[in-house]
Amino acid sequence: MTNDIAHESPPSQSKERISNEIGGTENTNEEATKFLKGWPLLILSSTLGLAIFLVTIEVTIVATSLNPITDDLHAFDKTSWIITAYLVTYTSFHIISAKLSDIFGRKAAVITSLCLFTLSSGACGASRNVTQLIILRAFQGIGASGSYSVIVAIFFELVPPAQFARTTSLISSIFALAFLLGPLLGGVITQFSTWRWVFLLNVPAGSICVLGLAVTLPNHFPDQKRVTSQPMKWTQPFSKSQLSRLDLFGTTLLLSASVLLVTALEQAGNPNPWGSLLIITCLLLSVLSWLCFFAWSKVSTKDGVARELVFPWRLIQTRFSVGLLITIFLTGMPLTVAIIEIPLRFQAVNSLSPLQAGIRLLPYAVLNPLGSIIAPYAAKRFRVPPIYMMLTGAVIQVVGTALLSTASTSMVGIVPAETHVYEGLAGFGTGVNLA
């Protein structure tokens, strides 16, 4: 995302912000550079913060609601699909959503994405069966992906470069808050109402965000000076040169590879044996899709076409970037599993309520962002090379996760104290690696 922002905001354009629409002034030769300040900046930033909070909390808030959802819809075997459908589309559409905002404008892109997220959330709350819920969660993920990628870009375009560090801290704080409150809110809503409100609450909140952005975000943001002097024709975004920048084929391959792999892993063992035709076919097609995806990324990088790839080939051309990708994968996977499986286990095995399960997840949820805060501070304060900090985090994460897998399963209504210690270790180690 950082690279996207760099491409989207060249020096000549990143300094141009709000002009006529907020009372910008003109010099004798050129328009003066002016950033939002005061109440306009506060209101717009608050609206953007609420929007990014909504799309971020959507994974953790569902974690403590999965058991009631699957009980109501009689689909416990489809539990992971409710999460996976959201995550697959959420991760697949980041780059293409950012590029669409370059073509059609930030305001149109973010409002469209938020509308899709809000409408899909309302439809999720009205789902009659698990199949409807899974499909709608996929559309919800598309809307969330577009909202997230465009909002992060807008956040950095709202302020001068000198305030980028403060903006990064703000976004990180929103993430930590969503991570912490998600399981608790999901537990409270599910225990004292119905799981449907986990999704339905996004409708009024999302509507507020859409209305707020429609009113406070200037048209043509952030390139108003260029647009007002040279208006864009309505057909220009649909031109061949503009649409060729979108990596539609790469996105299709990534979705195909991910969905086929998830389908094989979900269906293998129960109800289909690993050697069944369905599982083997899905695995083979997934491998083929992955190979085509990486081949497409490599070929497209060298063909000279100005296309924004879902997976730029330069990411695996250096040991440093490959190491970062592997670290993110090996850290993010257990993070996602822990957020989902720990509260689900507390409800299914220890017979705890959704709220109790959310509270029991707090050691993991609190120490994870705490590790992300402490690690960079300690590295700077004591001049510890990042590689040693990452190795320390990896060891703590592995030890905590291994110990967590040994937690007792025989106590109904009671969670042993050591389980929370193991949670804290796993969460802290994960946070250190993600710092």
Query: For residue range 26-75, what is the model confidence (pLDDT) as tens digits?
Result: 343 334 446 767 787 889 999 999 999 999 998 889 988 998 999 999 88
Give the per-residue pLDDT at 26.
39
Angle between helix 202-216 and helix 38-63 axes, rounded to 10 deg: 160
Of 120, 110, 96, nearest in space to 52 by CA:
110
Residue ranges covered by each domain of the chain: 1-241, 248-306, 315-435
Of 120, 102, 110, nearest in space to 216 by CA:
110
How far apart (Å, rounded) are the C-alpha atoms in residues 311 and 291?
Answer: 13
How far apart (Å, rounded) are the C-alpha atoms in residues 61 and 339?
Answer: 10
The length of the chain in residues reads: 435
For residues 216 and 43, the answer to whether their CB atoms sit within 8 Å is yes
Is the whole model's pTM more than 0.85, yes or no? no
Give the per-residue pLDDT at 311.
86
Whether a cis peptide bond, with omega within 30° of 0, leads into 183 is no
- Record the tokens describing residue 171, joined without a space: 């976004």
Of 190, 202, 228, 12, nearest in space to 105 by CA:
228
Q: What is the 3-state secondary structure (H, E, C) of the chain?
A: CHHHHHHHCCHHHHCCCCCHHHCCCECCCCECCCCCCHHHHHHHHHHHHHHHHHHHHHHHHHHCCHHHHHHHHCCHHHHHHHHHHHHHHHHHCHHHHHHHHHHHCHHHHHHHHHHHHHHHHHHHHCCCCHHHHHHHHHHHHHHHHHHHHHHHHHHHHCCCHHHHHHHHHHHHHHHHHHHHHHHHHHHHHHHHCCCHHHHHCHHHHHHHHHHHHHHHCCCCCCCHHHHHHCCCCCCHHHCHHHHCCECHHHHHHHHHHHHHHHHHHHHECCCECCCCHHHHHHHHHHHHHHHHHHHHHHHHHHCCCCCECCCCHHHHCCHHHHHHHHHHHHHHHHHHHHHHHHHHHHHHCCCCCHHHHHHHCHHHHHHHHHHHHHHHHHHHHCCCCHHHHHHHHHHHHHHHHHHHCCCCCCCCCCCCHHHHHHHHHHHHHHHHHHC
Beta bridge partners of residue 246, listed in sequence order:
308
Of 320, 292, 336, nearest in space to 386 by CA:
320
How far apart (Å, rounded) are the C-alpha atoms in residues 276 and 288?
Answer: 18
Task: List, for the chain, all residue ranges whose pLDDT scores fall below the cut of 70.
Answer: 1-34, 36, 223-242, 303-307, 410
Angle between helix 106-125 and helix 38-63 axes, rounded to 10 deg: 30
Question: In the chain, how long is the greatest CA-to-CA distance?
Answer: 79
Give the per-residue pLDDT at 25.
37
How far apart (Å, rounded) are the C-alpha atoms in residues 146 and 91?
Answer: 10
Beta bridge partners of residue 26, listed in sequence order:
31
How far apart (Å, rounded) are the C-alpha atoms in residues 194 and 198?
Answer: 8
Q: How far is CA 284 from CA 33, 80, 267, 287, 288, in A?
A: 55, 22, 15, 5, 6
* 415 φ/ψ sector (left φ>0, alpha ψ -120 to 50, else beta): beta
Give the per-residue pLDDT at 21.
37
CATH number of this structure's domain 1-241, picked from the four choices 1.20.1250.20, 1.10.10.200, 2.60.40.420, 1.10.3720.10: 1.20.1250.20
Q: Which residue has the tokens 């024709």?
A: 233
How far apart (Å, rounded) are the C-alpha atoms in residues 425 and 18?
Answer: 47
The one-letter amino acid code at 123 reads A
- Record the tokens describing residue 44, joined without a space: 């717009």
For residues 158 and 238, the answer to whether their CB atoms sit within 8 Å is no
